[in-house]
Amino acid sequence: MTSRISILITGASGGIGRAAAIECAQRGARIGVHYNGNRERAESTLAALSGDGHQLFQCDITDPAAAQQLIEDTNQALGGLDVLVNNAGISQRYQFDEIDYATWQKTWQRIVDTNLTAASNLCFLAGKKMIAAGGGRIVNVSSRGAFRGEPLMPWYGASKAGMNAMGQSLAQALGPKGVFVYTVAPGFVETEMAAAVLASPEGDNIRNQSSIGRVAQPGELGKTIGFLAFEAPEFMTGCIVDVNGASYLRS
């Protein structure tokens, strides 16, 4: 893979996506900075990228037609699509006994639509482009919650477990076509999405779950994603890379 590749990163206006964009731009890639609602933050990410040729793309990825247009626009504007980073995701926490059935249904639908269905659609659309171009890579951002259970947000854990299974299945389906699929499963990361929980009384307990006594910094995930996008051996396809400070160990 040459140094001047084109990468689309969803949810790149902040947190892990922003860190991944900065890391991959430093490695020489053209970056498609995707955002949904906050253009100002997306522009801040764009301004932080080294090199040139980067582009902003606004899209509600839960809209299948809009997702298709996003891939078409990215492919055209960046001169191809070598790597897709499926990072966009949302979460919502509720106590089981504090919500009603309507909220339960609405929350499941919203989280799964964003975290899993939209990601699967982008994998399909980008995968087709990559196959036509002779190959590529997909990096999906999952969560340790896929393995350890999430009692306050079962919809989130389920969506991320689905992402893991999807990545492994696509690695088998697309490997013969030269498209390699990797998954990153972080624990808590110091991002805007986690800020309220980490600032709450629960924060110290979360930090102490790691043997290092803290949560991850976005740049640590950015470096991991950069490695998978540029350097990871093809034979790692289908892998799930845990980046959680030993807060959850699978056997």
Question: Is residue 234 domain-resident?
Answer: yes
Question: Is residue 163 domain-resident?
Answer: yes
Q: What is the pLDDT of residue 251?
A: 76
Q: Measured in whole angstroms, how far is the alpha carbon of residue 60 from the centre of its chain?
A: 15
Q: Which residues make Cβ contacts (< 8 Å) with residue 56, sequence separation at least 6? A: 33, 35, 39, 42, 43, 46
Question: Is residue 249 domain-resident?
Answer: no
Question: Is residue 164 domain-resident?
Answer: yes
Q: Which two tokens stand for residue 205?
A: 């307990």
For the chain, what is the domain count?
1
Range of the domain at 113: 6-243
Return the DSSP state at 215: P
Question: Is residue 119 domain-resident?
Answer: yes
CA dist., res. 159 & res. 156, Å (int)? 5
Q: What is the pLDDT of residue 194?
A: 84
Question: Is residue 250 domain-resident?
Answer: no
- What is the three-class DSSP state of 43? helix
Local confidence pLDDT in tens for the 251 residues of the chain: 445 899 999 999 999 999 999 999 999 999 999 999 999 999 999 999 999 999 999 999 999 999 999 999 999 999 999 999 999 999 999 999 999 999 999 999 999 999 999 999 999 999 999 999 999 999 999 999 999 999 999 999 999 999 999 999 999 999 999 999 999 999 989 888 888 889 998 999 899 999 999 998 999 999 999 999 999 999 999 999 999 999 999 87
Answer whether 0.85 is exceeded by the pTM: yes
Q: What is the pLDDT of residue 190?
A: 87
Question: Is residue 136 domain-resident?
Answer: yes
Question: Is residue 1 domain-resident?
Answer: no
Catalytic residue (one of 94, 101, 156, 182): 156
Helix axes 64-77, 118-133, angle to 10 degrees: 30
CATH code at position 185: 3.40.50.720
- 156 annotated active-site: yes
